Structure 1
Amino acid sequence: MQDAHITASDGCKLAFQTSLPSPISAPQASCCVLLLHGFSGSSAYFTRNVSFISSKYWVVAPDMRGHGASGRTRGGYHVARLAADLRQIVMHLQSISRPDLKIVPVGCSIGAAVLWTYLELFGCDDFAGFVFVDQAPLQDRSPFENWDSTRAHKGCYDEATMKSAQESWIHDSVAAHRDLAESSLGYLYAPSAGDAVSEEQKEEDMRFFTGISALCDQEWLAKLMCDHTRYDHREAVEMIDRPTLVLYGKRSGCFTYEGVAETAVRVNRKCQGQKLASVISFDSGHWLFYEEPERFNREIVQFVDACLASV
């Protein structure tokens, strides 16, 4: 992977990693898999995925503003701003390859929320299909449609829990980073006798993920989380009119199956019986792409193959 960047409309640097250098010839770039990381993450999250996926498809993995190698801004801690940034990246990828480039985005955690906001603002036309990884379309509990603990986020789901999370990220970020990793790695959140993870690997994983979180401005992150948890994407999900794959981690400390699967339920219901969306459960946690990379990589490539065959 090579480092690259563009400049957002407000002057912020938007960094990304690309498996192909620019400019890109048309035969190389008929399809791009766009890997979108989660809250406080970076493109480095996909260290176990890019090699396999890029053996067949062009892979691009952005760092959202405020994360990784991208720029830091005083404002911009809104999912809508991240969606606008993604729009600029998509337009750039089209401009350096071909306007009819087929793009399949893989939105992990808040990356899924950014995609749903993108759909609401810009529509579906830029994408050939969608993958959403372990994210419910609404984090908060809500009286609308009885969105309760069976579907909302397990730990940050109302004003009180959100404020507590903000206090932690601002005033005890080291603990907050560890808490995120412990709720996102299935072998830590819900240990199983079959887990083959050594103590050395556990320590290495903890250093890896907490180190990435530490790169961010913690107050900026806390403000982003406040914005993120309030967004209700359920109606935006119903705009999807193309193949959709939803991936769920059975040992996720973040979401329930019912919350994550709601995306597939709404896509299929809106399509009046046509099964455009399917759900696949993994035996790991929220970061299932890291814990089960071989399976994740195969599922992504097979899904992209199917998306292109249906075009």
Structure 2
Amino acid sequence: MPSFKANDGIELHYSTHGQPSLPPLILLHGFTGTSAVFSRNIPKLSESFFAISPDLRGHGESGKPKAGYHVARLAMDLKNLIDHLELAQGRISAIGTSLGAAILWCYAELYTTKAFKKLIFVDQAPLQNYTSDWGPEHGNRGCNSSEALATIQHTLENDPQAAHLGTITACLGYRAYPQPADPTEGSTEWKHDEAFFLEQALKGDGRWYGKLMADHTALDWRDAIAQSFGPGSGSTTEVLVVASTRSGCFPAAGPLKGVDLVNGGSDDGIAKGVTVEWGGHWCYWEKPDLFNELALKFLQL
């Protein structure tokens, strides 16, 4: 797995797949994940794109600093990766899942959208916390207040396995909102998925994860999305928002609000929204063929 040093000296690992002559496609994993979460998507996506999947700092094989637990730092890491690989501005596409979507919003606010041709945001609302104008119909189902955050931070530090098992339950649709034909507890798929995601999550430090979640949870990206992508921004980056009716993290209306923000409330614009029922927060893992088809239909237009 190749690596490079970010501008602050932290070593960041990434993998590449496909021919470098193909258009670049960056895959950004979410909280406690690694680049390996895209292992079911990369074989198909890399037929048409030069797929690049980094391990975010604090995750996977990348450096584990004591500081840097901020979405803005992760956005700077993305900028460092793009510069390191000398990717052509305006030719890049990216898929940001969960936290990965917030990294892309932050990147756009800091560096504009000019680097990107197309972006896919997967099941991430522009605000997790509940506020006077943002409640349970849009915000995070679990981590949505200072009290909930404190509980999650305590568990991440003192019983990380329990914390990660809670994340797995919320993020897999067949656990969050089971249907009759879904895998059941004790089945091969149930046990395999749990072991895989637990192994990836345990590569990071619970205290660091907790600090990152505090930053991620507090940030309100609504105005930033409108300013960076919306009417009057000059942005030509096309956007696809993927939400899930079976996400244990967000009601579908939360992520889909991003479409309204990009389009300025218009029914027509550079953003489109899709609601899926065949997977949860990690729909790209649960039903990779369906997700790949959805992603490629948008990316190859």
Report the TM-score when normalising by structure 2.
0.94
| Distance apart, 1:149 and its partner CA | 1.1
- After superposition, what is the alpha-carbon deviation per residue over 1:160-191, rounded to whole angstroms, capped at 9, x for unaligned? 00101111111111111110000100101111
| Residue 231 (structure 1) aligned with residue 219 (structure 2) | yes
Structure 1 Cα separation of the partners of residues 196 and 38 of structure 2:
12
| Residue 276 (structure 1) aligned with residue 296 (structure 2) | no
User: What amino acid maps onto 1:220 in structure 2?
Assistant: W
User: What amino acid maps onto 2:112 in structure 1?
Assistant: G
| Distance apart, 1:100 and its partner CA | 4.5
Which aligned pairs between 1:88-103 and structure 2 lie closer than 5 A?
Answer: 88-93=80-85, 95=86, 99-100=88-89, 102-103=91-92
- After superposition, what is the alpha-carbon deviation per residue over 1:118-159, rounded to whole angstroms, capped at 9, x for unaligned? 11111000000110000000011112xx11111110000010
Secondary structure of 1:112's counterpart equals helix
Structure 2 Cα separation of the partners of residues 71 and 92 of structure 1:
17
Which residue matches 1:248?
243
| Residue 170 (structure 1) aligned with residue 157 (structure 2) | yes
Which residue matches 1:309?
none
Secondary structure of 1:64's counterpart equals coil
Secondary structure of 1:128's counterpart equals strand
| Distance apart, 1:301 and its partner CA | 1.3
Which residue matches 1:305?
300
- After superposition, what is the alpha-carbon deviation per residue over 1:27-70, rounded to whole angstroms, capped at 9, x for unaligned? x13x1111100001000000110000001111000110000111
The share of aligned pairs that are identical, in percent, is 35
| Distance apart, 1:203 and its partner CA | 0.4
User: What amino acid maps onto 1:109 in structure 2?
Assistant: S
Report the TM-score when normalising by structure 1.
0.91
User: What amino acid maps onto 1:293 in structure 2?
Assistant: P
Unaligned runs of 5+ in 1: 307-311
Which residue matches 2:48?
56
Please, which moves more after superposition, 99-108 or 74-83? 99-108
User: 2:89 touches 2:114 (CA, 8 Å); kept in 1?
Assistant: no
Structure 1 Cα separation of the partners of residues 3 and 297 of structure 2:
29
| Distance apart, 1:273 and its partner CA | 5.3
Which aligned pairs between 1:35-114 and structure 2 lie closer than 5 A?
Answer: 35-93=27-85, 95=86, 99-100=88-89, 102-114=91-103
Secondary structure of 2:95's counterpart equals strand
Structure 2 Cα separation of the partners of residues 226 and 267 of structure 1:
26
| Distance apart, 1:274 and its partner CA | 3.7
| Distance apart, 1:101 and its partner CA | 6.1
User: 2:90 touches 2:117 (CA, 8 Å); kept in 1?
Assistant: no
Structure 2 Cα separation of the partners of residues 139 and 70 of structure 1:
26
User: What amino acid maps onto 2:294 in structure 1?
Assistant: E
Structure 1 Cα separation of the partners of residues 116 and 65 of structure 2:
28
Flag the 1:7–1:269 CA change in 2: closer, same or farther, 3 A: same
User: 2:88 touches 2:115 (CA, 8 Å); kept in 1?
Assistant: no
User: 1:32 touches 1:101 (CA, 8 Å); kept in 2?
Assistant: no
Structure 1 Cα separation of the partners of residues 158 and 3 of structure 2:
32
Name the Cα RMSD after superposition.
1.5
Which residue matches 1:125?
114
Which residue matches 1:266?
261
User: 1:264 touches 1:279 (CA, 8 Å); kept in 2?
Assistant: yes
Structure 2 Cα separation of the partners of residues 100 and 220 of structure 1:
32
Structure 2 Cα separation of the partners of residues 151 and 101 of structure 1:
31
- After superposition, what is the alpha-carbon deviation per residue over 1:71-119, rounded to whole angstroms, capped at 9, x for unaligned? 11110000000000001111222x2xx6356111100000001111111
| Residue 141 (structure 1) aligned with residue 95 (structure 2) | no
User: 2:183 touches 2:190 (CA, 8 Å); kept in 1?
Assistant: no
| Distance apart, 1:20 and its partner CA | 4.3
User: 2:90 touches 2:114 (CA, 8 Å); kept in 1?
Assistant: no
User: What amino acid maps onto 1:275 in structure 2?
Assistant: G
User: 1:133 touches 1:247 (CA, 8 Å); kept in 2?
Assistant: yes
User: What amino acid maps onto 2:168 in structure 1?
Assistant: A
| Distance apart, 1:194 and its partner CA | 2.5
Structure 2 Cα separation of the partners of residues 68 and 205 of structure 1:
17
| Distance apart, 1:276 and its partner CA | 1.3
Unaligned runs of 5+ in 2: 230-234
- After superposition, what is the alpha-carbon deviation per residue over 1:232-286, rounded to whole angstroms, capped at 9, x for unaligned? 100111121321101112111000111111100111116x554211111222110
- After superposition, what is the alpha-carbon deviation per residue over 1:187-209, rounded to whole angstroms, capped at 9, x for unaligned? 01111013256701100100000
Quick one: which of 146, 154, 157 aligns to 1:159?
146
Structure 1 Cα separation of the partners of residues 129 and 242 of structure 2:
20
User: What amino acid maps onto 1:17 in structure 2?
Assistant: S
Equivalent pairs counted in the alignment come to 292
